[in-house]
Amino acid sequence: MPAISKSDIKQYLKEAPMLEIAELVKEIEEEFGVSAAAAMPVMVAGGGAAAGAAAAVEEKTEFSVVLTDVGSQKINVIKAVREVTSLGLKEAKDLVEGAPKPIKEGVTKEEAATIKKKFEEAGAKVEIK
């Protein structure tokens, strides 16, 4: 196996489409059982990581907007994807055709509601997770 340096990885990430990078992150999270989310302090005494995770669920401040169904107006949905993301036309089209897919992650509840409204007006169905 050829040696791959950190600079090789960074160069790849600079050149790759963001959608491809997002998929790579998800694959790494699943394969290695890690999360790319910011590290949370873990409580050591009286509950450990499980109690810390339960507290994180109760205090959810970041949400993901997931495209679940495109509907009949695919072009309008692609336009909506381009409005709320920095994706180009091809990447937006690939995201829409690959539904269900996350549109935007780590957004506030208000921003997620705004995005959901925009997609519903375009004829798509989305979920806020």
Q: What is the pLDDT of residues 11-22, one digit of tens each?
A: 888 888 888 888
Q: Name beta bridge partners: 102.
A: 66
**At 66, which helix (H) or strand (E)?**
strand 63-69
The Cα 81–Cα 99 span in angstroms is: 12
The Cα 25–Cα 6 span in angstroms is: 16
Q: Long-range pairs for 103-108 at CB < 8 Å and ≥24 separation?
A: 103/65, 103/66, 103/67, 104/64, 104/65, 105/62, 105/64, 105/65, 106/62, 106/63, 106/64, 107/62, 107/63, 107/64, 107/65, 108/61, 108/62, 108/63
Which pLDDT value is given to residue 41? 53
- Among the residue ranges 22-31, 43-52, 94-103, the one predicted with the least confidence is 43-52
Q: How does DSSP classify residue 38?
A: P
Q: What is the pTM of this model?
A: 0.52
Which pLDDT value is given to residue 58? 55
Contact, 99 vs 126, CB < 8 A? no
Which pLDDT value is given to residue 36? 67
Q: What average pLDDT does this structure show over 1-27?
A: 82
Q: What is the pLDDT of residues 29-88, one digit of tens each?
A: 888 887 766 555 555 555 555 555 554 545 577 888 888 888 888 898 889 888 888 888
